[in-house]
Amino acid sequence: MGLLSAAIWMPIAFGVLLLALGRDDQARTVRWIALVGAVLSFLVTLALYDGFKLGTSAMQFVENMPWITRFNVHYHLGLDGISFWFVPLTAFITIIVVIAGWEVITERVNQYMGAFLILSGLMIGVFSALDGILFYVFFEATLIPMYILIGVWGGPNKIYAAFKFFLYTLLGSLLMLIALIYLYTKSGGSFDILTWHKLPLSAKEQTLLFFAFFAAFAVKVPMFPVHTWLPDVHVEAPTGGSAVLAAIMLKLGAYGFLRFSMPILPDASKEWAWLIIALSLIAVIYVGLVAMVQQDMKKLVAYSSVAHMGFVTLGFFIFNPLGIAGGIVQMIAHGFVSAAMFLCIGVLYDRVHSREIASYGGVVNTMPKFAAFALLFAMANCGLPGTAGFVGEWMVIIGAIQYDFMIGLAAASALIFGAAYTLWMFKRVYLGPVTNDDVKGLTDINGREFLMLALLAAAVIWMGVYPKPFTDVMDASVTDLIKHIAVTKLK
């Protein structure tokens, strides 16, 4: 049991401890325990960064021990350059979410904080698992705390949204389970994902397995046309739930393409790349246009997330280093920016109790500090150079142009749509004269909210100005993946 296990089980242990503290009169203690647990978990991930070796695509921090010996299932963990950054990102967003819910959540505080900490550990487990069944257990277990968070602390239609979220994601995952069992039998009784990378599979086998994995991962991303659950869930989810869902949970599906579909099924991935590229471009362009007509701020940012994740899948399936690295960078950047966008909406909702754009206007007059943060995050959502939102999109666009100029041109149009719907929302909510008494009575952000937004602002600017630490970590693994895909596996 090493650092990676600590990163997984420490937040889960703190979450279970919080669940044991069952009374709301202990809320102050609960909040501090949650914050300590989140911070300690994040410090463990920083120790992982300190010990990570650059220039190699080999798995690091590997832990491997028997778990279910009868079926040769192992507790097998490890990180490479592709998966590494999602571990500190998850732990960092968890800190932000704990701070965000500090004063807002007043009932069942222990369950709310505990659910987020347990969810954090489970998501880190997904990014670390190198055994197929272990991956599946972590992948499915993340549904439980998020289902509870939506169903208990959500909006008026929370039960509908929670069921829709659970059913969509669970049904897709059942086909993935069948694929995992097939690979287990094909490999002679091994659930080792790295062993599966070397399996000689026929064209028919690869195609069937590709679509089995696609069913699970496309829903989770979510890709067009199975994206319809996301806006409903975001609208009903509590602010912290929306932040974690957009920042981390959507990445689980995209990560699955990198860990399963592309290295295990390289020929099918190349053969069906045109389909993924087409669906990605539809997400980038059509869903971007859908975002423009939204009247609910959360729905607008939810559709924006679908469009931005379209960039990610586009980058992966053009099969060049810039595209894949750009897709990974975009996932990390979107984690910071989307969390910030939803938390900004949460700040307004806590005061006015409305997410409708028409309920606001002239917020900059009464909340100038908050408006400054909101402007930065809006610019990052547009892909402004110097912010995190620019780096990944630019890399994907350049990679797409190298692959096919027209595809690159179509992808680049998303920058125009992104700027249109984001700036239009910002203009109507924040700029101009004060439009109603609710806005006139607003108070600017307090110290807790300032800290939460300042941490995200620092991350957005740091990644935008100096992305080298992010790309250095992933370079060797991305190069190795490209080489692996280039070698045909058909027998």
Report the distance separating Cα 227 and Cα 325, nearest Å: 24
Please list the residues that pair with 129 across neighbouring strands. Answer: 77
Please list the residues that pair with 131 across neighbouring strands. Answer: 192
Range name among 232-236, 336-340, 471-475 with the lowest pLDDT average: 232-236
pLDDT recorded at residue 490: 46
Domain that holds residue 438: 274-491
Q: Positive or negative, the Cα torsion across 461, 336, 397, 290?
A: negative
In a domain, 366, yes or no: yes
Smallest CA-to-CA distance from 84 within 60, 100, 67, 104 is with 60
Angle at 287 between CA 282 and CA 292, to 5 degrees: 145
Question: Tens digits of per-residue pLDDT, 252-286?
Answer: 989 999 998 899 888 898 888 899 999 989 888 88
In a domain, 151, yes or no: no
Q: DSSP readout, 431-474?
A: SSS--SHHHHT-----HHHHHHHHHHHHHHHHHHH--HHHHHHH
Residue holding tokens 């507790």? 75
Higher pLDDT, 229 or 473: 473
Residue length of the chain: 491
pLDDT recorded at residue 456: 93
Q: Is the pLDDT of residue 54 over 50?
A: yes
In a domain, 418, yes or no: yes
| Number of domain units in the chain | 1
In a domain, 388, yes or no: yes
Coil, strand or helix at 149: helix
Mean pLDDT, range 113-142, rounded to an integer: 92
Smallest CA-to-CA distance from 429 within 365, 350, 360 is with 360
Q: What is the DSSP letter of 200?
A: -
In a domain, 380, yes or no: yes
Q: DSSP readout, 324-391?
A: HHHHHHHHHHHHHHHHHHHHHHHHHHHHH---BGGG---HHHH-HHHHHHHHHHHHHHHT-TTSHHHH
Share of the chain above pLDDT 90, in %: 33
pLDDT recorded at residue 451: 92
pTM of the predicted model as reported, rounded to 2 decimal places: 0.92
pLDDT recorded at residue 134: 93
User: Can you give the C-alpha Rg of the chain in angstroms?
Assistant: 22
Report the distance separating Cα 360 and Cα 86, nearest Å: 35
Instruction: Give the pair of three-digit tokens for residue 143.
Output: 């549904």
Q: Is the pLDDT of residue 372 over 90?
A: yes
pLDDT recorded at residue 355: 85
Three-state SS annotation for 10-44:
HHHHHHHHHHHCCCHHHHHHHHHHHHHHHHHHHHH
Question: What per-residue string of b and e applies to 109-127 under the rule 16 or more CB within 10 Å gives b?
Answer: bbbbbbbbbbbbbbbbbbb
Coarse DSSP helix, strand, coil percentages of the chain, rounded to the nearest 5 percent: 75, 5, 20
CA dist list (Å): 171 to 140, 166, 174, 203, 212: 11, 8, 5, 25, 11
In a domain, 149, yes or no: no
Please list the residues that pair with 68 across neighbouring strands. Answer: 73
pLDDT recorded at residue 28: 82
Q: Is the pLDDT of residue 305 over 70?
A: yes
Mean pLDDT, range 200-229, rounded to an integer: 87
Coil, strand or helix at 76: strand
- The answer to whether 461 touches 375, Cβ cutoff 8 Å, is no
Report the distance separating Cα 187 and Cα 167, nearest Å: 31
Q: Is the pLDDT of residue 491 over 60?
A: no
Arithmetic mean of pLDDT over the chain: 88
| Reported confidence tier of residue 55, pLDDT bands at 50, 70, 90 | confident
Smallest CA-to-CA distance from 335 within 237, 411, 248, 218 is with 248
Smallest CA-to-CA distance from 11 within 102, 98, 133 is with 98
Q: Is the pLDDT of residue 84 over 50?
A: yes
| Reported confidence tier of residue 488, pLDDT bands at 50, 70, 90 | low
Q: Is the pLDDT of residue 223 over 70?
A: yes
